[in-house]
Amino acid sequence: MKRSIPLAAGLVLAAALALLATGTAGAGSPITVRANCTVGPIRCMSVLRTDIPVVTSAQAAHSGYGPADLRAAYNLKSASLRNGRGQTVAVVDAYDDPTIESDLATYRAYYGLPPCTTSNGCFRKVNQDGEQGNYPAIANPDWEPEEALDVEMVSAICPLCHILLVEANSADEAAPMSNPAQHSDLGAAVDTAANLGATAISNSYGSVGPEPDQTFWDHYYNHPGIAVTASAGDYDYGAAWPATSPYVTAVGGTTLSPAKNVRGWTETVWGSAGGGLPADAQGTGSGCSLWEPKPVWQKDTGCAMRTEADVAAVADPATGVAVFDSSPLTGGWGVYGGTSVASPIIASIYALAGNARKVTYGSYPYSHTKSLYDVTEGTNFTPNQACGYLCTAGPGYDGPTGLGTPNGTGAF
């Protein structure tokens, strides 16, 4: 089985919130990234490294973590090869990616994964109404790399799972106070995924600022017995929605590096601990919601409302994952980060566990913390004194990484 070339260990990203930004991590080399889906109130949460040349050949060696790396890091080697049959992981995105199935085939062929196609029933793409056709107009090509990232991360973690891609007509949401009849296209796509039998549903997108109308849209994510995950955001300390919805598992982000320890890996908060002001830094979202009520299973005392996040996985583009996307925006193999990586990873681990029917929203990890790696170092806010555990990792629960990262499937 082919394996991608791991990135240099120990780099921590400090990148600007611009379309193209530069960050330096201590003595490491500078990296540059391009954020995707930067237009609109709801954005996808992925970033592409632009300091690493895109590899255009489908079968050429490239950088970024591959499936074997991710399975090793999260103690999933046996589960990934054994579990997942009969499970469907849905990913919800906006707009259309016309090359998604061929890109998925390239990724799986390179890493020796079994084919997952429309013809063999493993892969299905539908519009937000559940139709295999009448896909959204390609009005925002920034979402194409996001779609490739999502389906390929499901493939990496759960190669035996079926994949359902639901494409929403847009990423826009009109304020319900101005038009109560207005619906959410992304929310409608989540409902469609649930109606089509998804075991888990990953949502790698979110708002970039607090909106008092957010609770109006929560009903779209209310699907007990289905594991619904949402990205915590890529803009450092500050809560993002729908990750703050009490009906989802909010997924934060880490820096994942090889290490000479028993696990073989180490993780810290993906954030701006290396320097930079909050206004110009980049890292995982976290914090205390202004609007969403606190679920009964959350017991932290520094936030009376819903706290973000619940769990975490790799998201730092400095230790990012390999993604093949043939769209003009990328054009081959690139290295990606953002909490868009983390959300489908966690959704796929729920599917590996095969326990979603017994899961009540994001509660299950809270009673199974022994099956998580506790992340105890790093911050997504500089200086970090004012926000305490909501922005700084420590033993036990913290905002940026929640209860920790997967150690097998037991917490899911």
What would the pLDDT profile of 97-136 be if each residue is shown by its tens digit? 999 999 999 999 999 999 999 999 999 999 999 999 999 9
Lowest mean pLDDT among 251-255, 278-282, 316-320: 278-282
**Within-domain flag for 95:** yes
Return the percentage of the chain with pLDDT > 90, whole number: 74
Q: Report the pLDDT averaged over residues 193-203.
A: 98
**Within-domain flag for 39:** yes
Q: What is the DSSP string of 258-305?
A: E-SSSSSEEEEE-SSTTS--GGG--B--BEEEEEEEPPTT---SS-SE
**Within-domain flag for 155:** yes
What confidence category does residue 273 fall into, taking pLDDT thresholds of 50, 70 and 90? very low
pLDDT of residue 6: 41
C-beta separation of 172 from 199 below 8 A: no
**pLDDT at residue 75 greater than cutoff 90:** yes
CA 131 – CA 114 distance, rounded (Å): 26
What would the pLDDT profile of 338-379 be if each residue is shown by its tens digit? 999 999 999 999 999 999 888 889 999 999 999 999 999 999
Domain at 366, CATH number:
3.40.50.200
Lowest mean pLDDT among 135-139, 148-152, 161-165, 310-314: 135-139
C-beta separation of 217 from 211 below 8 A: no
pLDDT of residue 30: 67
Q: Report the pLDDT averaged over residues 308-332.
A: 95
**Within-domain flag for 13:** no
pLDDT of residue 29: 55
pLDDT of residue 31: 81
pLDDT of residue 210: 63
What confidence category does residue 318 fall into, taking pLDDT thresholds of 50, 70 and 90? very high
pLDDT of residue 9: 30
What confidence category does residue 384 fall into, taking pLDDT thresholds of 50, 70 and 90? low
**Within-domain flag for 189:** yes
Q: Report the pLDDT averaged over residues 211-225.
A: 87
pLDDT of residue 350: 97
**pLDDT at residue 253 greater than cutoff 90:** yes
CA 233 – CA 284 distance, rounded (Å): 6
**Within-domain flag for 77:** yes
Q: Which two tokens stand for residue 412?
A: 């899911």
What would the pLDDT profile of 17-32 be if each residue is shown by its tens digit? 233 333 333 234 568 8
**pLDDT at residue 320 greater than cutoff 60:** yes
What would the pLDDT profile of 288-309 be if each residue is shown by its tens digit? 999 999 999 999 999 999 999 9
C-beta separation of 90 from 191 below 8 A: no
**pLDDT at residue 323 greater than cutoff 50:** yes
What would the pLDDT profile of 31-56 be if each residue is shown by its tens digit? 888 888 877 778 999 999 999 999 99
**Within-domain flag for 367:** yes
**Within-domain flag for 24:** yes
Instruction: Report which of residues 10 and 317 the model is more confident about.
Output: 317
pLDDT of residue 78: 86
Q: What is the DSSP string of 95-150?
A: S--TTHHHHHHHHHHHTTPPP--TTTTSEEEEETTS-SS-PPP---TTHHHHHHHH
Residues spanned by the domain of 302: 20-406
pLDDT of residue 242: 95
Number of domains in the chain: 1
Q: What is the DSSP string of 147-163?
A: HHHHHHHHHHH-TTSEE
**pTM: predicted TM-score of the whole model, two decimal places:** 0.91
